[in-house]
Structure 1
């Protein structure tokens, strides 16, 4: 089995892909509800807000950081978990076991790990995923993009490389390996149409141009874990939403919880 299929099978079966999908759609919807050009907001503010909310929603769905379950009861602290989420977010949040995913930051860059595999986050302009310029990203993202691919191109590692890329190969020989195999979840948003892109893949340091990925997987191509509550091509809200957020939910025993929450199976 190729690395691509192996990683997607592992993350899909564990429910990670469903969790990442939910977190991004929930974060993006909330960011667009808040965003208002009429109020002086700009693309930089929208990008920062989207990133912050995405990180928060990932911590929620994976029970990390301030949402970590400390009592041994996965249903404890639901008031904190659901605070500021919409009814749709609550109803569609995958129900994953606490401890399935752990925070595994790399050089201060937020990361989440399952077993021996980790992913970081990276933003990109809409429609530019395949040309994502890793050399312009942070040193940490460049380090991740310099990881050796377990499936090097044949027949030669050097065939077709630009001259500038040989420097990257020399660095591979001297740079220490990362503590975990590390991948990237890249995300985009077109604020006018509400269209989004969300992929998981192994980045490729494309010094001098060229493909940005050894491989990548479209997370949004998989049906949502709740059975299709929303479709991928449905535009997200493009302005402020005056409807109040869902009220805080108090803790309830398992038998009293709503039966329509997603299972989290990928």
Structure 2
């Protein structure tokens, strides 16, 4: 089996991928409900909101972050853990909120990430329809380092010191890619959970993949797997009906959103610049 097949099989059988699908669907639906182009919102605003909500939804389903409270446990505000867990969700989402144990928060340098066994994934927003056009050099240093990990190159290629994540106890002598892979066979596999919402239609995309640093151009992925919804949606993309801002809101409290200043040369997808 290829690495892609192994990863998808392991995360599907463990219930991780179905849980991620719920989290993405909830986050994207709320982001789209709050989106209003007439007030000045654009792809960057939609992407930022969807990204922040996807972080929140994953913390909910995995009971991480502010959702570590157990049922019946009082929070400092006096709410019960269940109250905090369900706050801000639509009634249908409250009824279907999944829970998957065994996943822990595993942030790296401020970039939100979650870990299950040897698999760790980082959410990344991208402009709708342009998942293959991602430029990792425009992402955070953490994402660039993930994309620079050697998995699909000549195993006899010599690696110079400081160009890879050196295994614990490994000497500083030059080593080949094959030797590095043998030394790190059981270490973390870093994945990207790439997501997007179309600002024109509300259609969404969700992928799981292994990034590839594309300095100077070239493919952005070593492999990229579209995540299908259980309702049989076409590939990674599911389209929601076009709605006007006055009719597509959901009956839940507004989610607070703080926009960060744009940085020259950054991605337009709206992902937080430090992630």
**TM (normalized to structure 2)?**
0.72
Higher percent of residues as helix = 1
Alignment partner, residue 110 of structure 1: 112
What is the aligned partner in structure 2 of residue 235 from structure 1?
A: 241
Cα displacement (A) at 1:80: 1.2
Q: Does 1:174 align with 2:174?
A: no
Deviations 1:216-257 (A, max 9, x none): 1111x24159xxxxx9334375625455229xxxxxxxxxxx
Matched residue of 1:174: which SS?
coil
For these two proteins, the number of residue pairs brought into alignment is: 224
Quick check: 1:194–1:238 contact (8 Å CA) kept in 2? Answer: no
Q: Aligned pair 1:92/2:122, yes or no?
A: no
Q: Distance in 1 between matches of 2:87 and 2:140?
A: 32
Q: CA deviation at 1:45?
A: 2.2
Matched-pair contact (CA < 8 Å) for 2:42–2:199: no
Q: TM-score, normalised by structure 1?
A: 0.74
Query: Are 1:184 and 2:188 matched, yes or no?
Result: no
* C-alpha deviation, 1:14, in angstroms: 1.3
Q: CA deviation at 1:42?
A: 3.2
**C-alpha displacement of 1:148:** 1.6
Q: Tell me the CA shift for residue 174 of structure 1.
A: 3.2
- Could you tell me whether the CA contact under 8 Å between 1:23 and 1:58 is conserved in 2? yes
Deviations 1:189-227 (A, max 9, x none): 1111111111011101112212111111111x24159xx
- Find the residue that maps to 2:215 and give its secondary structure: coil
The alpha carbon displacement at 1:108 in A equals: 0.9
Match of 2:170 in 1: none
Kindly tell me: are residues 210 and 82 of structure 1, through their superposed partners in 2, closer, same or farther at Cα, counting changes over 3 Å?
same
Query: What is the 5 A alignment of 1:1-266?
Result: 1-70=1-70, 77-97=81-101, 100-149=102-151, 152=152, 156=154, 174-177=163-166, 180-219=188-227, 221-223=228-230, 232-235=238-241, 239-240=245-246, 241-245=248-252
Is the 1:131–1:209 contact (alpha carbons within 8 Å) kept by the matching residues of 2?
A: no
1:4–1:215 contact (8 Å) kept in structure 2: yes
Displacement of 1:77 after TM fit?
A: 2.3
Distance 1:177 1:87 in 2: 48
Aligned partners of 2:61 and 2:244: how far apart in 1? Answer: 25
In the aligned structure 1, how far is the partner of 2:242 from the partner of 2:108? Answer: 32
Write the distance in 1 (CA, Å) between the matches of 2:126 and 2:97. Answer: 25
Higher RCO, 1 vs 2 (CA within 8 Å, ≥6 residues apart):
1
What displacement does 1:91 show?
Answer: 3.1
- Give per-residue Cα distances to partners, 1:37-62, cap 9 Å, x unaligned: 23333333222211111110110011
Unmatched tracts of structure 2, length 5 or more:
74-79, 168-186, 254-275
